[in-house]
Structure 1
Amino acid sequence: MSETLQNTFATSFEIAWDYLEATGKLGNPDTAARHLLDSIETMLRRGERRHLALSNKAIAAYLRFREEQSLSLAS
C-alpha cells in the first residue's frame, strides 16, 4: 500500500514533535514547528519517504539550529 505524501509529512512531523516535547528540547513551539516543517518539506522534495529518516534528520537539524542560536547569544 502506498502512503500519501501528506500522510508521510504529518507522521514524520508528529514523531519529531513528540520526541522533542518528551525530552524537553522543544523550545519555542512556533520556531520548532516552522523549522521541523521546513526541514521535512525539503527532504520530501529531495525524495526521502521514510518516516524515521525524515523525523530524525529534522530533529538533528533543529537541535543544531538551537545550539547555534545559544552560542550566538552567549557571544
Structure 2
Amino acid sequence: ADHARSAGFLAEPKNKVERCTTPVVVAGDFNLISWASDKSSPNVDRVRMRLFNDCIADLALREIARLGARFTWMNK
C-alpha cells in the first residue's frame, strides 16, 4: 500500500457515503488500523491512524464484531 495516498484514498469513500440517501455498508481491506493494539508490531503511524478514525467518526460507521483469531494475517 502507498500510505502517502491514504488521505486521498479515504476521501473517495467518504464522498460517496456522504451522498447516499439510504443506509450503506462499507466493507473492505483498507490496510489501515484504528488502534495501536490492532497491530502485531509496535510500529504505528498515529497520524494515519487518526485520519482513518476521523473518517470512521465523520461517517458514523460501526465495526462489525469479528470472532476468532485476533489478526487475519501476519507476515511471520
TM-score, normalised with respect to structure 2: 0.28
Structure (1/2) with the larger helix percentage: 1
TM-score, normalised with respect to structure 1: 0.28
